[in-house]
Structure 1
Amino acid sequence: MPRGIQLNANALRVLAGLYHGTEPHYGLSLSRALGLGNGTLYPILDKLEGAGLIVGEWEAIDPHAAGRRPRRFYTLTGEGIRTFEAERARVFGPVGTEGRHA
């Protein structure tokens, strides 16, 4: 885990949601999937991105043509995957070889 970062239960939930997701998530989809409000979720996303555990990228759309603002999609970095897997093993014990690799 990167130095100086402590992951609370909600931060681990966000990492788990990104880890187990099949596609990148944007803020609202994470909020709905995890039951976290914006005031909780966005500071966690900022913290995780600042620590290099996730990366956020704005989608390339024309807001007028799409009829909405661009979404910022979040994905785990390799370090984020390793950190989540290490924390999961620390909390729940080792798991089989079905884990995700980066």
Structure 2
Amino acid sequence: MSYPFRVTDATVDVVEALLSGDDELYGLKIAKSIGRPSGSVVPILMRLEACGWVLSEWEQDESVRGPRRRFYRLHADHVGAARRLVGERKTASATAVSSTLRPGLGGVR
């Protein structure tokens, strides 16, 4: 399937985090959950938002100390495609790993 954005491992990680069902996902929280720097996660979120896959809104609770957070969620119209994207990448990764193993030799080529 073709996507309106560049599909990288980091992009798939971000999409998978967005599929987690957490209602309060913001850039730093996503970055920590997937083990990637926020400096790479936030631009991915911005690209996904620009193509309509992600919606965002500023935190409304003004009693929270520190800078306001921008919360992100997948657009309902793209949840199915997001699941396919994550599934495709996992299938491709599993195929790549299994093709590098040689039966009977117990190691990598």
CA RMSD of aligned residues (A): 2.1
Instruction: Map 1:49-60 onto structure 2 (within 5 A).
Output: 49-60=49-60
**C-alpha distance in 1 between matches for 2:75 and 2:2:** 12
Which segments of 5 or more consecutive residues in structure 2 lack a partner in the other structure? 93-109
User: Which of 75, 82, 86 lines up with 1:84 in the alignment?
Assistant: 82
* Residue matched to 1:99: none
* Residue matched to 1:97: none
Moved more, 33-42 or 78-87: 78-87
**CA offsets per residue over residues 38-67 of structure 1, 9 Å max, x none?**
2211110110111111111101122xx422
Q: TM-score, normalised by structure 2?
A: 0.71
Which runs of structure 1 show a deviation greater than 4 angstroms over 4 or more consecutive aligned residues? none
**C-alpha distance in 2 between matches for 1:51 and 1:2:** 13
Instruction: Determine if contact 1:52/1:79 at 8 Å carries over to the other structure.
Output: no
Report how far residue 69 of structure 1 moved.
1.5
Q: TM-score, normalised by structure 1?
A: 0.75
**C-alpha distance in 2 between matches for 1:13 and 1:3:** 15
**C-alpha distance in 1 between matches for 2:42 and 2:75:** 18
* Greater relative CO, 1 or 2 (CA 8 Å, sep 6+): 1
Q: Does 1:43 align with 2:43?
A: yes
* Residue matched to 1:73: 71
Q: Which amino acid aligns with 1:66?
A: V
Report how far residue 18 of structure 1 moved.
1.0
**C-alpha distance in 1 between matches for 2:86 and 2:2:** 15
SS in 1 for 2:66: coil
**C-alpha distance in 2 between matches for 1:68 and 1:41:** 20
